[in-house]
Amino acid sequence: MIGPLLSALLLTLSLPPHPLPLLAPVALAPLAFHLERLPATAAGTRSAAMAGIVVGGGHAVLLLHWLPGAALPLMGPAQGVAAAFAVWGLAAALTGVGLALVHRGTLGGRLPLPLSLGAAWIALGWVPASLPTVGFPWLGPEAALVGRPELLGLADLVGGIGVAGLLALTGGALGQWAARWPGRGEGDPGNSGPVRRAGWVVLAGLLLAGGAGYGFHRAGQLAFNGEDIPGDVLRVAALSLEADPDLLTDRELREQRLPAGIHRLSRELGPGEADFVLWPESPTGMVDGPMEPALARHWARRSGTPVIFGALAARSEEGRANRILLASSGPSPDPGGPLRVVREKRRLVPIVERAYARGLRAGGRPPPVEGPFRWWPESGSGLPGEPQAGALICFEALFAGEAFRLRRRGARILLLPTNEGWLVGPGGGVLDSARRQHRAAAVLRAVETRSAVVRSAVGGPAGAWSAIGQPVPGQARSVEGVGHLYLGMVRPGPERAPLAARGGAAATGLAAVLLLLGGASLPSRNRPPRSRV
């Protein structure tokens, strides 16, 4: 099992906190080498499933090693460790099933190994995130490219999962090529000539180069067009509050320091400096007091700027609702008045968040608010048609499907209010993996949806990204010991949603699943069994 273990390590090293993007196309080559050497028998399929458990579980443990520490303050040691093992076990089990299907699909020459391995990694990125209740996506190899978002250009056609599939196909081609090198598996007709041996490697290289070229072309095209649109700029402000697990678990301390921090940072914003200000997700975490709404109303009126903020809501016999609301800075034509709910969280963190939201969907409660919204024109942005925004609350930023849903409905700006104080690693560096991985999702959502992204955080930095995934430079007004206020200017994404948001990513995922299932049931081409020698 050296090959699967090595692939698990290479996959992890390619991803945040300190991504090494050059490892992404080769990370799965050792795994492919191992699969190619397995016998074309039922025993070989069992070995492939075990290899999947090793690579999937090992990668999940290495990548998400921070899960027990993040869950501990909320659930206690026993439940926190159990939650972590549940996530790691889900990753191992799904990868085991995926690689068993890969082996079944390649038995008797039914499907080429690179193609089926690429399909498996698309399915592993799409299926877990699509589960209705226990959905828990994890970063695929596409997240290795967030430092150069131009290389993610194909994501606006087939989603990040499509890019992951291409990287997996490349690793599969390299591993197969190495396994079929002269002198190995002499009975295998795949060794019939150097051209045939290198065919998939050449194809993978051409696809990678074509995808990169498309990405650079689209990035340049959008950047050029954006500069050509006069006045199509939004002035945005976002808050970043300093916090850690010790502060967040102490309710009395949290309720004193975080509202005071919001007050101090809000004083840094002058009247008319921004079209709207974004606060983090539920800064105080209260459900029995009007703290966040009262603060938001006060500062919206005082600054003349609409405030978009997070707050929890208590519901009798129905648990709690995690909401994003908008406080108007003046009279509003909206029938909801000067304060309205613009989103209720659809994707709750499995185990952790559902513990306090028990029964959230029960009791005949109306569907959660989830669509795009407009801030009121009193902000004076002057944009044609007042482009709509969509909000993804913290954990929801990991779900590409939620962002696609908002984009299809007209959102051209994505807001990501979050609370990362639970994820702070001591000393930063490699121990700060969780927050860096969470921020990588902001780049992926920007590129996939071709939308501008604005982010605010408790325990993490605020900022913005353009519709091509580039960080938007801005001004940071810091208050020592409190946090900082980010001020920047962003352009909404193009009016037309990209293909990925209009169903391209879902079609890619479904096609990959059907390819795996179909390949496992295709008749054999009577290819001689592969040698393990």
Kindly report, residue by residue over 130-144, the tens digit of the pLDDT: 877 667 788 899 999
One domain, residues 19 and 156: yes
pLDDT of residue 18: 86
**Domain at 384, CATH number:** 3.60.110.10
pLDDT of residue 290: 76
pLDDT of residue 80: 83
Residue 499, domain member (yes or no): no
Residue 192, domain member (yes or no): yes
pLDDT of residue 512: 94
pLDDT of residue 50: 97
Q: What is the pLDDT of residues 389-436, one digit of tens each?
A: 999 999 999 999 999 999 999 999 999 999 998 887 655 556 688 899
What single string gives the DSSP state of each residue in 175-231? HHHHHTSTTSSTT-GGGS-HHHHHHHHHHHHHHHHHHHHHHHHHHHHHHHHHHTSTT
Domain range for 195 is 2-226+504-521
Going by pLDDT thresholds of 50, 70 and 90, the confidence category of residue 338 is: confident
Residue 270's contacts (CB-CB under 8 Å, 6 or more residues apart) are 303
pLDDT of residue 180: 81
Residue 354 CA: distances (Å) to CA of 90, 361, 399, 522: 18, 11, 17, 42
pLDDT of residue 515: 93
Residue 383 has pLDDT above 60, yes or no: no
Structural tokens at position 395: 């954990």
172: how many CB neighbours lie within 10 A of its CB? 31
Number of domains forming the structure of the chain: 2
How many residues comprise the chain? 533
Residue 36, domain member (yes or no): yes
Residue 529, domain member (yes or no): no
Phi, psi of 32 (to 5 degrees): -65, -40
278 in Cβ contact with 238 (< 8 Å)? yes
One domain, residues 345 and 379: yes
pLDDT of residue 339: 83
Q: At what angle do helices 113-130 and 77-106 cross, to 10 degrees?
A: 150
pLDDT of residue 126: 93
286 in Cβ contact with 262 (< 8 Å)? no
Residue 527, domain member (yes or no): no
One domain, residues 312 and 166: no
Q: What is the pLDDT of residues 473-525, one digit of tens each?
A: 999 999 999 999 999 999 999 889 999 999 999 999 999 999 999 888 877 66
Say how many Å lie between the first and final Cα of the chain, rounded: 15
One domain, residues 103 and 144: yes
pLDDT of residue 60: 94
Q: Which of 1, 85, 80, 83 is nearest to 37 (CA)?
A: 1
Residue 188 has pLDDT above 60, yes or no: no
Residue 46, domain member (yes or no): yes
One domain, residues 269 and 306: yes
Q: What is the pLDDT of residues 27-56, one digit of tens each?
A: 999 999 999 999 988 999 999 999 999 999
Determine the 3-state secondary structure of 168 from DSSP. Answer: helix
One domain, residues 243 and 183: no
Residue 207 has pLDDT above 60, yes or no: yes
- Mean pLDDT of the chain, nearest integer: 84
User: Quick one: average pLDDT of 192-212?
Assistant: 80
What single string gives the DSSP state of each residue in 99-140? HHHHHHHHGGGSS-HHHHHHHHHHHHHHHHHH-TTT------
pLDDT of residue 530: 53
Q: What is the pLDDT of residues 4-19, one digit of tens each?
A: 999 999 999 999 988 8
Residue 533, domain member (yes or no): no
User: Quick one: average pLDDT of 382-391?
Assistant: 70
One domain, residues 201 and 264: no
One domain, residues 116 and 157: yes
- For the chain, give the percent of residues with pLDDT over 90: 52
Of 371 and 332, which is predicted with more confidence? 371
One domain, residues 372 and 445: yes
224 in Cβ contact with 466 (< 8 Å)? no
Residue 358 has pLDDT above 60, yes or no: no
Residue 530, domain member (yes or no): no
Going by pLDDT thresholds of 50, 70 and 90, the confidence category of residue 532 is: very low
pLDDT of residue 59: 96
One domain, residues 255 and 321: yes
Residue 370 CA: distances (Å) to CA of 8, 156, 306, 308: 36, 22, 19, 15
Looking at 190-194, 196-200, 411-415, 444-448, which range is the least confident one? 190-194
One domain, residues 116 and 243: no
Residue 291 has pLDDT above 80, yes or no: yes
One domain, residues 126 and 212: yes
User: Quick one: average pLDDT of 88-109?
Assistant: 92
329 in Cβ contact with 304 (< 8 Å)? yes
pLDDT of residue 322: 87
Residue 360 has pLDDT above 90, yes or no: no
pLDDT of residue 259: 92
Strand partners, 313: 321
pLDDT of residue 7: 97
